[in-house]
Amino acid sequence: MNNHDWFVRAQAVMPGGVNSPVRAFRAVGGEPLYVERAAGAYVTDAGGAEYLDLVSSWGPLILGHAHPEVVAAVREAAGRGLTYGACHKNEALLAEAIRRVMPHIEKVRLVSSGTEAAMSAARLARAATGRDGIVKFRGGYHGHGDCFLIDAGSGALTFGTPSSPGVTRAAANDTLVAEYNDVESVRAVFAANPGRIAALFVEPVSGNMGVVPSAPGFLSQLRELTDREGALLVFDEVITGFRVAPGGAAERYGVKPDLTVLGKIIGGGLPLAAFGGRAEIMDLLAPLGGVYQAGTLSGNPLACAAGLKTLEILARDNPYPALERAGGDLERRMAAALETTPFPWAINRVGSMFTLFFGIRHSPGFGAASLADTGLFANYHAKMLARGVYLPPSQFEACFLSTAFGEKEADRFADAHAETVAEL
């Protein structure tokens, strides 16, 4: 059976044939790949075709697919049991590993998904402050919890449904929306809601309206504003944590949040996420405090083993300078091929994550990103896929490099990009 055969079969038993909407390829046309196996920087589909992979499972695979040391750690853990529903040492070891490189996270609670972590952080912030309001940014995505599906980015932006049916008016009323990289809009929201705001959630590098870096000084201004207003500053580092620096965006930009949401890389490719922060806030969680949060599979031993080994390798090998160089070199080669094109374009990059936008020349926030030419991107995506390069099937997602992405892969990508651009 090929990709098409599996997609037909899946559509009969799954909504849209997928378990996550962006996988359906509706934003770019065509039909999704069905991955049979993956190794290093490549995936192979059901028909046996090999693709250079810049999706990287949407970010966690900083070491590439099936890294031998990570696979060995998972196999060894599986031999001791797949799940316990009980405490085990790797939970504590992983929490310690996180705190070593992110010392502002004094205590951490492991969960299974970024959505779960963000929802729990919002509940905790409300309990800590005695307030109900949550501020987020237009185009920002913090999972599919009700309070975050207001002017959401990523898949919701791709499908033109920034607010979801099923979200109650009460949830919507407690969510306040500001403009990313516009601190005056944040001040206006606080001024209009005195004493009401529990927390401000921000992706310190947006990865869900395409990659959009925070402007110089923006995060520090948010820190000052939330301190003054008695609200908590929450960094959503599901994507940027251990990706843009060893200590995530908090280290890269020198701003310490009150709470942090983590995911992706801390699970080494398996389902694992976390939220953490100042001890006095985290100790409000049950069993110490009254804020209830629980999960049978939280701290799954296989996921903890994969995450621990991944963080160990990152600490040992320090691949961040090489990833920064690889990202910069690729950006320059992409720009060189685009310089003579008749259409506007922009490349936003932070370290090893980037987005190529079509139809705009600058993307500092949601307003510009939403004007991108999704039709031209769909054409680009299809031509790159035909040349064996697998990109995220949405204009509003990020591409990710890994340590498995070497000179050969850079040449393959750059050649395919140049040929594709010439045809657009």
Of 228, 220, 282, 214, the closest CA to residue 257 belongs to: 220
Instruction: Dig out the tokens for 338 from the structure.
Output: 């685009």
Contact between residue 212 and residue 363 where contact means Cβ atoms under 8 Å apart: yes
261: phi then psi, degrees, rounded to nearest 5:
-105, 130
Using an 8 Å Cβ cutoff, are 266 and 102 in contact? no
The sheet carrying 353-358 orders its strands as: 345-350, 353-358, 399-400
Q: What does the alpha-carbon distance between residue 198 and residue 217 come to, in Å, rounded to a whole number?
A: 22
Beta carbons of 282 and 109 less than 8 angstroms apart: yes
Which amino acid, 205? V
Q: Report the alpha-carbon distance of residue 178 to residue 191 in Å, rounded.
A: 12
**Total Cβ atoms within 10 A of residue 337:** 16
Distances 77 to 60, 66, 272, 297, 303 between C-alpha atoms, Å = 20, 15, 15, 15, 9
CA 203 → CA 66, 110, 159, 219, 318, distances in Å?
28, 20, 21, 10, 24
- Enumerate residues 6+ apart whose C-beta is below 8 A from 182: 365
24 within 8 A of 16, measured Cβ to Cβ: yes
Residues taking part in catalysis:
141, 236, 264
Rounded Cα distance between 196 and 191, Å, is 10
Pairing label, strands 259-262, 232-237: parallel
- Give the side-chain half-sphere CA count within 13 A for 71: 9
Q: Is the Cα dihedral 306, 308, 311, 313 positive or negative?
A: negative
**Residue type (1 letter), 23:** R
